[in-house]
């Protein structure tokens, strides 16, 4: 696989993943689930910034396929192992998709406030392995992006995402402990935060 094929493959994977995530959110909204908890209050500024950063990274990963000169602008080098990069991206994407769909009606973008409660604590499926499998999938996906377009931009994306997701996880843990009490504390004692 050459670098051009890799760029187009990565763009295709990103487009599919974004289409799934948007479609899943729309499907839940049509079923009456208010998924956009990120729009509630001022407490979700970190989450909004992280989503904006993800949108910029996603645009880069898609647009670098037809506009390869973007790699020069962000000082990205050629991928040393294109097939490994694709494997990591696909693995991260699959973890995201399986985890998100396993959350069903409990999935939200952002930490809900009191009027948008999550009704059920999800402890099955991928959540038996990780308390945050969607975020784990995102981090694996980002590592795949970094190996597909190695450079300071993608390295920075991995670093900032880890810090941002860790802060969001802390917010979610406080919410879930308040919402589900001992049930969440028991779950937290059984299953690790990442893996």
Residues 170-186 have pLDDT tens digits of 988 998 999 899 999 99
CA distances from 8 to 43, 70, 139, 154, 190 (A): 37, 14, 21, 17, 41
Six token digits for residue 47 = 């989450």
Under 8 Å between Cβ of 139 and 161:
yes
What local confidence, expressed as pLDDT, does residue 34 receive?
A: 75
Per-residue pLDDT of the chain (195 residues; tens, 9 = 90+): 899 999 999 999 999 999 998 899 889 888 888 776 665 555 567 777 888 899 999 999 999 999 999 999 999 999 999 999 999 999 999 999 999 999 988 888 777 766 667 888 999 999 999 999 999 999 999 999 999 999 999 999 999 999 989 988 998 899 899 989 999 999 999 999 999
The total of other beta-carbon atoms located within 10 Å of residue 95's CB is 22
**CATH topology classification for 3-190:** 1.20.120
Q: Which residue has the tokens 């406080």?
A: 174
Of residues 78, 50, 90, the one with CA closest to residue 171? 50
80 CA to centre of own chain? 24
3-class DSSP state for residue 181?
coil
Domain boundaries, the chain: 3-190
Under 8 Å between Cβ of 74 and 64:
no
Distance CA 18, CA 62 (A): 11
The total of other beta-carbon atoms located within 10 Å of residue 152's CB is 10
What local confidence, expressed as pLDDT, does residue 105 receive?
A: 84
């Amino acid at each position: 696989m050459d670098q051009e094929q890799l760029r187009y493959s990565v763009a295709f994977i990103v487009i599919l993943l974004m289409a799934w995530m948007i479609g899943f959110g729309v499907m839940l909204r049509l079923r009456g689930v208010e998924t956009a908890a990120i729009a509630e209050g001022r407490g979700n500024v970190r989450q909004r910034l992280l989503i904006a950063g993800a949108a910029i990274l996603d645009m880069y990963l898609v647009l670098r396929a037809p506009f390869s000169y973007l790699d020069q602008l962000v000082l990205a080098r050629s991928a040393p192992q294109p097939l490994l990069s694709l494997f990591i991206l696909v693995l991260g994407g699959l973890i995201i998709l399986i985890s998100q769909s396993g959350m069903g009606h409990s999935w939200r973008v952002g930490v809900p406030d009191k009027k948008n409660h999550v009704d059920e604590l999800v402890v099955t499926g991928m959540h038996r392995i990780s308390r945050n499998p969607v975020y784990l999938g995102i981090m694996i996906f980002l590592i795949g992006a970094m190996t597909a377009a190695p450079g300071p931009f993608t390295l920075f994306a991995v670093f900032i995402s880890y810090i941002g997701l860790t802060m969001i996880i802390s917010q979610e843990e406080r919410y879930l402990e308040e919402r589900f009490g001992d049930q969440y504390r028991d779950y937290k004692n059984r299953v690790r935060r990442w893996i």
